[in-house]
Amino acid sequence: MKTYKITLIRGDGIGPEIVAEAVKVLDKAGEKFGFRAEYAEALMGGRAFDETGVPLPQETIDKCLDSDAVLLGAVGGEKWDSLPGHLRPEAGLLGLRAALGLFANLRPAKIYGPLKDACPLRDEIIGDSMDIMVVRELTGGIYFGKRGRETVDGVEAAFDTEYYTAAEVERIARVAFELARRRSGRLCSVDKANVLESSRLWRETVIRVAADYPDVELNHLYIDNAAMQLVRNPKQFDVILASNIFGDILSDEASQVAGSIGMLASASLGEGRLGLYEPVHGSAPDIAGKEIANPLATILSAAMLLRHSLNEEKAADAVEAAVEKVLVDGLRTPDIYTEGCKKIGTAEMGDAVAEAI
């Protein structure tokens, strides 16, 4: 039987609760599809600071590097908001992404039929469903370029530099093209090439890479038009490729179009198969321990883990189908509850998904 090493970072707030349900589902998938997972526990975020004095201990990095995949709950909370920036829980997450060389962020935005009413767009716009994958470059661009402050003619000024190399663009483009090839064969690359030199390099590089993917239909949109089109006609999109800052904006917009943040998964990938998988939502410390947190985003993140790091496609499909089934059956945690459905708790939802596999 195949054995995979998975590092669990349960994190803060509701993190431990939702990770527990994802583990339950992973174990059930392994039982059905002939593999098993060995789990290693690691600390990151606020709990790591409380126990070790830093948000990302070296031991955690070492464990993650020695694993096939990393599953993260959520980090952060008001308890640690007053800490200096380099000691805050979020600094641990940024540090881990850098240490693992994770440059590609995958953010699916999917509307499940039973939850369509949560979408803020009209039925004639959204249709029966929506399934978009935003591929965001994660380690370059304006968030990592040169920055500073200065005084010019007695006036305070600040600058942040958008900087990309062709190699950085090419590697994220190939991730997006490969995904598009496995989906509907459509890719939209977003830039601002009419104004920004960095975007001109971005577009030129993406066009060059496209020659290796003749089976993928490529089109380009400027960021302002892409943001508008995402709410005007989201069904025109399948895979969206964007720089760090543009991807940050569009993935958040897409998540709101999808309607329920409790359903949104994500993956951060690098050159190899090692990836970091986490729900998009935060740690929600106000509801921690109340057995009302929605574990489905973490469970769907686990499905991405199965697909992208473990290459267990059938198991990933089964987990996603199980999530769809429990929703069709009318099971809901409080955040997605509507009248006529059955309200259940965190562990009950995990049990239901595991049983549906």
| Backbone dihedral region for residue 140 (phi beyond 0: left; psi -120 to 50: alpha; all else: beta) | beta
Q: Which of 39, 79, 131, 143 is catalytic?
A: 143
Q: Work out the burial of residue 353: count CB atoms within 10 Å of its CB; fewer than 13 is exposed, 13-18 middle, 19 or more buried.
A: buried
The answer to whether the CB of 25 falls within 8 A of the CB of 350 is yes
Q: Which of 66, 117, 123, 224 is catalytic?
A: 224
Q: Rounded to whole angstroms, how far apart are CA atoms 301 and 158?
A: 38
Selection from 41, 53, 39 nearest residue 3 by Cα = 39
Q: What does residue 195 show for φ and ψ, rounded to 5 degrees? A: -130, -45
Q: How many CA atoms lie within 13 A of 349 on its CB side?
A: 34
- pTM score: 0.90
| Residues contacting 91, CB < 8 A, separation 6+ | 55, 56, 85
Q: Which of 24, 28, 110, 192 is catalytic?
A: 192
Q: Provide the pLDDT for residue 123.
A: 76
Q: Rounded to whole angstroms, how far apart are CA atoms 123 and 117?
A: 9
C-alpha dihedral, 12 to 14 to 20 to 22, nearest 10° = -110
DSSP string covering 305-355, please?
HHHHTS--HHHHHHHHHHHHHHHHTTEE-GGG--TTSEE--HHHHHHHHHH
Residue 212 known to be catalytic: no
Residue 2 known to be catalytic: no
DSSP state of 239: E
Residue 143 known to be catalytic: yes
Q: Provide the pLDDT for residue 2.
A: 94
Could you count the other beta carbons within 10 Å of the beta carbon of residue 19? 27
C-alpha dihedral, 231 to 236 to 240 to 246, nearest 10° = -30
Average pLDDT by stretches of 10, the chain with 357 residues: 95 96 97 96 95 96 97 94 90 90 94 79 76 94 90 94 97 97 96 97 98 98 96 93 95 82 90 93 91 95 96 96 94 90 95 96
Q: Which of 252, 325, 335, 337 is catalytic?
A: 252
| Residues contacting 119, CB < 8 A, separation 6+ | 111, 126, 130, 257, 258, 259
Q: Provide the pLDDT for residue 124.
A: 74
| Residues contacting 343, CB < 8 A, separation 6+ | 332, 333, 334, 337
Q: Provide the pLDDT for residue 114.
A: 79
Q: Rounded to whole angstroms, how far apart are CA atoms 69 and 270?
A: 11
Q: Provide the pLDDT for residue 53.
A: 95
Domains assigned to the chain: 1-102+262-357 (3.40.718.10), 120-258 (3.40.718.10)
Q: Which of 12, 191, 238, 248 is catalytic?
A: 248
Report residue 78 as tokens.
């008001």
